[in-house]
Amino acid sequence: MVTGLAIREANLADGGDAAAIVTVLDSYASDPAGGGGPLSREVRERLVPALRGQPTALVLLAFVGAEPVGITVGFFGLSTFQARPLLNIHDLAVVAAYRGKGIGRALLREAENRARGRGCCKLTLEVQDANARARGLYASFGFEDFVVAGSPTRFLSKALPRAGS
């Protein structure tokens, strides 16, 4: 574990936290696992205001001293089969120089604590098959494939172009 690690909920109205969110997510986007290119200028400008507009968002930032080194972005939803809230972890990213030092695990632990505090029945997330390091972390944390009636569930996506595009 890294000395001096602090994890806290981001204040989306604070300019320093907004910059930290963009910095860490841009670092991840630039990584091959995140797409291999930085966030566009438009996304960088819209990201934090868009998060502020999502009342179910939970953004946790990890710092070593004043340096932002990790982030978890999650959204509370509802499990209809359990009629209880759930937390979907949409992003979990750690700056490359700090990977393998327990920061991802600490972010997951804090996200789980927040979910338990809200009465959530489960945490969900998606991970790329090729991201063996992340898959190993998630498995060690207790995440597993969701299987119903012997069939695993797949996470699917359909891109919707912006109106006028």
Q: What are phi and psi of 48, to 5 degrees?
A: -70, -45
- What confidence score (pLDDT) does residue 102 get? 95
- What confidence score (pLDDT) does residue 132 get? 85
- The rounded distance, in Å, linking the Cα atoms of 24 and 95 is 6
10-residue mean pLDDT profile of the chain (165 residues): values are 93 98 97 91 98 98 97 97 96 95 96 97 90 88 84 82 78
- What confidence score (pLDDT) does residue 57 get? 98
**Residue-range domain boundaries for the chain:** 5-152
Here the tokens at position 85 are 């809230």
Cβ distance 102 to 140 under 8 Å? no
- pTM, two decimal places: 0.91
Please state which CATH number belongs to domain 5-152: 3.40.630.30
